[in-house]
Amino acid sequence: MAAGQRNLLVKLCVAMGVVALPLLVAIVAVVLPQLRAQLHEDRIRGLRQAVETAYGILEAYEARERDGTLSREQAQAQASALLQSLRYARVEYFWVNDLDTRLVMHPHLPKMVGQEMTGYRDVRGKPVFVDIVTLARTRGEGAVAYEATRPGSPDPIPKESYVKLFRPWGWVLGTGVYVEDIDREVAAVRRRILVAVGGALVLAALAGVYVSRRVVRPVRALAEAARRVARGDLSVRVEESSGDEVGQLSQAFNAMVTELRGVVDALVEAAGATASDAERIRASADTLSRGTREQADALQLAAEAVQDMSARVSQGAVAARAAVEAATEQGRVADAGGRAVDEASRKMGDIVQVVERSAATVARLQESGRVTGEMLKLIQQVADETQMLALNTAIEAVHAGQHGKGFSVVANEVRKLAERTREAAAQVQALQDRSDADSTLAATLMRQGTTQVHEGMALSSTAGEALARLLADTRTMGERVGTLAEENARQSASGENIAGRIQALSLASADSVSGVERIARSVEDLRARASRLRELAARFTTPARGG
């Protein structure tokens, strides 16, 4: 017998013992004493009925005495003879004594009839007839317990008697039963009860063995199937041999294994898909990281170029202010030349030099404006590429689903920076267009001024008029060059502002690179966990994947 079966049988026996032991204790301690008491009461009741029956005989003979049919002696003699021969239960008898404890009739003690029984005592020293007379005098009837010998047996045994006083004659009629008979009946009942309980226990044990075998076999099959499932074999199935609780447990176990098999298959599929998605996201993140890093480098270069452009524009503004100062100075020289024509010729040469330098300065300003336009185009190209990169990042984030929320945020910030860069570039382009127009106008004026100076030198006779015109032109040129200097200063400030924004965009791109790298690391961790999940799920064996 298997250990599990023995355990179940032992548990069943213990359970039956737990049920049977209180039952036996209750039978021995409660039922049998109550049964003995009930039998005792029944015997006393039976004795009383027997005495009542014999009492009727005495009443009948006493009635014949009253009606004169018989004398008292005849009536008493006939009644005694009848009672002496009267038996019930085949062996039980009656006796009669009077209130003086004299024995009137006793079928088994004929030699003691007529003797006074005051000194008669049982083996325990109890004065039996004295107690009987005392009971008859005080209560008229009742039960008396004592020990007496059974006819044919020398050993005294307990006996219960019932006596009743027949007052007309002063007789005490009594009969008794040996307690041994009650004990014998109780013992017989005890034996029958114990045999019945023992038989019930044996039948229960046999039924328990049968039931335990019927229960343990499918339970052991379920346990073995559960161990196989624990080892990863999901192809196991137990037989559903009955419709009871064990059969329902087997059916539930099969349903559980089926559901678990579906879960494991779905888990393997999900783990593989997750690993593949993680690999694609990681590749996209690497590409995005490289693109973002290249963008950050390009923005850094653009910021440096814009800063250089701003420096050149600032230098142009300084040169323009110098030109304004020079024009002012030439105005004063022209005033002095009006007073001294000779000095005008010499100063005219200086003016020619100043005008030539101004023309060179204006040419440099135009060159700087061209470089600025190229840088603005570069900035606009960077902004377009950045916006395209942000769009691609947003598309990849949508494809990544829940894992691409970080890409979506980065793409949104990059798109905003690209839009601000484009707006700043448009503002700088507008300023550059105005600066180019002013520079072109200034160059034209410079060329006109140079022509006029040469004509003034050739026509020294008209030096006063030429000097006056030159003075007016110089003032005009000074005002325009001052305006150009202010525009160049504003352009320089705008360039510095654009450079700052591009620098901030470069820093944001660097942060984006860090964020993308963190996302790539997270995706790599996700891919590793998905691979681990797939390895764990691969431990289970399903019919679809085979053993």
Q: At 315, which CATH number?
A: 1.10.287
Are residues 325 and 180 part of one domain?
Answer: no
Residues 105 and 122: their CA atoms lie apart, in Å, by: 19
Q: Look up tokens 């005080």; give the residue.
A: 138
CB atoms within 10 A of CB 276: 12
Sheet holding 94-98, edge to edge: 103-105, 94-98, 171-178, 156-166, 141-149
CB atoms within 10 A of CB 136: 25
Where a domain ends, among 204, 221, 248?
204
| Within a domain: 459 | yes
Residues 221 and 253: their CA atoms lie apart, in Å, by: 11
H or E element, residue 164: strand 156-166
| Within a domain: 432 | yes
Which range (127-136, 265-274, 334-343, 414-423) has the least confidence?
334-343
Question: Three-state SS for 92?
Answer: strand
Going by pLDDT thresholds of 50, 70 and 90, the confidence category of residue 309 is low
| Within a domain: 231 | no
Residues 81 and 111: their CA atoms lie apart, in Å, by: 15
116 bridge partner residues: 102
Enter the DSSP assignment of 150.
P
Per-residue pLDDT, averaged over 327-354, amounts to 67
The CATH number of whichever domain residue 180 belongs to comes to: 3.30.450.20
With 0-12 / 13-18 / 19 or more C-beta atoms within 10 angstroms meaning exposed / middle / buried, residue 102 is: middle
Residues 115 and 103: their CA atoms lie apart, in Å, by: 6
Which range (301-305, 378-382, 522-526) has the least confidence?
301-305
C-alpha 74: how far from its chain's center?
105
Residues 10 and 16: their CA atoms lie apart, in Å, by: 10
Going by pLDDT thresholds of 50, 70 and 90, the confidence category of residue 518 is confident
Where a domain ends, among 167, 186, 204?
204
Strands (E), 357-441: none
Please, what's the b/e burial string for 141-154 (b: 16 or more CB within 10 A of its CB; e: otherwise)?
A: bbbbbbbbeeeeee
| Within a domain: 91 | yes
What per-residue confidence (pLDDT) applies to 1? 47
Alpha helices, H only, 67-178: 72-85, 128-139
Going by pLDDT thresholds of 50, 70 and 90, the confidence category of residue 69 is very high
Residues 142 and 172: their CA atoms lie apart, in Å, by: 11
Are residues 309 and 184 part of one domain?
Answer: no
Are residues 312 and 167 part of one domain?
Answer: no
Which range (124-133, 156-165, 269-278) has the least confidence?
269-278
Going by pLDDT thresholds of 50, 70 and 90, the confidence category of residue 51 is very high
Hey, what amino acid is at 285? Answer: A
| Within a domain: 80 | yes
| Within a domain: 411 | yes
Are residues 315 and 174 part of one domain?
Answer: no
For residues 246 and 218, is the Cβ–Cβ distance under 8 A?
yes
What per-residue confidence (pLDDT) applies to 485? 64
Where a domain ends, among 152, 174, 204?
204
For residues 366 and 384, is the Cβ–Cβ distance under 8 A?
no
| Within a domain: 281 | no
What six digits make up the tokens of 537? Answer: 């799920």
State what percent of residues in the chain have pLDDT above 90. Answer: 17
pTM score above 0.85: no
Please, what's the b/e burial string for 420-434 (b: 16 or more CB within 10 A of its CB; e: otherwise)?
A: ebbebbeebeebbee
Range of the domain at 363: 305-500
290 or 166: which leads in pLDDT: 166
From first CA to last CA, the distance across the chain in angstroms is 33
Question: Three-state SS for 541?
Answer: strand
**Relative orientation angle of helices 341-400 and 463-537, to the nearest 10 degrees:** 20
| Within a domain: 277 | no
Per-residue pLDDT, averaged over 53-79, amounts to 94
Per-residue pLDDT, averaged over 229-256, amounts to 75
What per-residue confidence (pLDDT) applies to 2? 47
Going by pLDDT thresholds of 50, 70 and 90, the confidence category of residue 162 is very high
Total domains, the chain: 2
What is the total residue count of the chain? 547
What six digits make up the tokens of 92? Answer: 């039980």
Is beta strand 94-98 parallel, antiparallel or unpaired with respect to 141-149?
unpaired
